Amino acid sequence: MSKNPEVIAAHGGQLVNRIATASEKEEFLGQAEKLPRVQLDERALSDLVMIAIGGFSPLTGFMEQADYEPVVESMRLANGLPWSIPITLSVTEEVAEPLKEGNWVRLDDPRGKLVGILELTQKYRYNKAHEVTNVYLTDESKHPGVKVVYDSGPINLAGPIWLLQRDPHPQFPKYQIDPADTRAKFQAKGWRSVVGFQTRNPIHRAHEYIQKCAIETGIDGLLLHPLVGATKNDDIPADVRMRCYEIILEKYYPKDRVILAINPAAMRYAGPREAIFHALVRKNYGCTHFIVGRDHAGVGDYYGTYDAQYIFDEFQPGELGIVPMKFEHAFYCTITQTMATSKTSPSTPEQRIHLSGTKVREMLRRGELPPPEFSRPEVAAELARAMQGQT
């Protein structure tokens, strides 16, 4: 591979950077105590960071109504560019009422620390029921993404943002590799093609199989990109998942083909729409390809097994600017004694070993290890220690 190849353009053409310069930060800090305050929850804080580092390019701030409505309706920004998830800052009427359009607003993190500035260009009401039925395809409040919308305030604040400074991640500083940095790493390695892998779960043999299959197609490198923002309470904690990734990469992957980096975004659990969203985010990180497997970003039984793959067909070829790599559900085939899918295995369902995440968690809580056909033994042991509260 030749060095210094061109890296794929960010979504919209240019990688956004909304981290305040030294002079901007000085100006903001000089006025911070006099500015009205909005306290961000964990998800809004993640969104602020992702906008600032370019992960949500071409967004430079929270969406105005002109972008919000077509995104909800047809997965496009006002200029026609594909975008599938609304990125909004919703507040109560009491918070919104004193805020004046055209002024700066101080953005504080959940602990009350100043982290950013919003130039308030618009505040507007939105239809929650319309948003959830379009984005999540359900209005049931037991859906975690729908619940977040229902629990949010009725008014969206919009406008460009500045992140005052990019601090090291409190848990995973060595894996905090932002889009500008992943792009530089890909270029330095001479990678012309990079496949991104999204996960909020510990890595298991099916994940490993499809990742390696993707690389075998001629892809230069893999960005293993676990999400470490807000997730459901019953998801495996991020620190446990990260230890599992470190363990498996050390022993079972070629070191010159994989980069492990964290994705600081929050989960929406929006199934098909979030698959598009995850692909565009990885495009911003410099990936040319993106793995879409079974029930991507799904929860419960709200989405069909492969709906997250079918939704890519709603866009024109090349329109998204990143290539989806669609994989069927992988399992261990007891006939061929290898990992496989229904496309390559002669087995019947009862001759296949695959376990649901719920069943695996139940086994781990009982102190039972998943079989090696499902999970590498070292990973299973790490999960068992964590699930039983052991060090």
Report the 3 state secondary structure along the chain: CCCCCCCCCCCCCCCCCCECCHHHHHHHHHHHHHCCEEECCHHHHHHHHHHHHCCCCCCCEECCHHHHHHHHHHCECCCCCECCCCCCEEECHHHHCCCCCCCEEEEECCCCCEEEEEECCEEEECCHHHHHHHHCCCCCCCCHHHHHHHHCCCEEEEEEEEECCCCCCCCCHHHCCCHHHHHHHHHHHCCCCEEEEEECCCCCHHHHHHHHHHHHCCCCEEEEEEECCCCCCCCCCHHHHHHHHHHHHHHHCCCCCEEECCECCCCCCCCHHHHHHHHHHHHHCCCCEEEECCCCCCCCCCCCCCHHHHHHHHCCCCCCCCEEEECCCCEEECCCCEEECCCCCCCCHHHEECCCHHHHHHHHHCCCCCCCCCCCHHHHHHHHHHHCCCC
The answer to whether residue 263 is catalytic is: no
Out of 18, 200, 268, 376, which one is annotated catalytic? 200
Out of 17, 76, 201, 243, which one is annotated catalytic? 201
The answer to whether residue 201 is catalytic is: yes
- Tokens coding 111: 């602990």
Among residues 324, 389, 321, which one has the least CA distance to residue 8? 321
Active site residues per annotation: 200-201
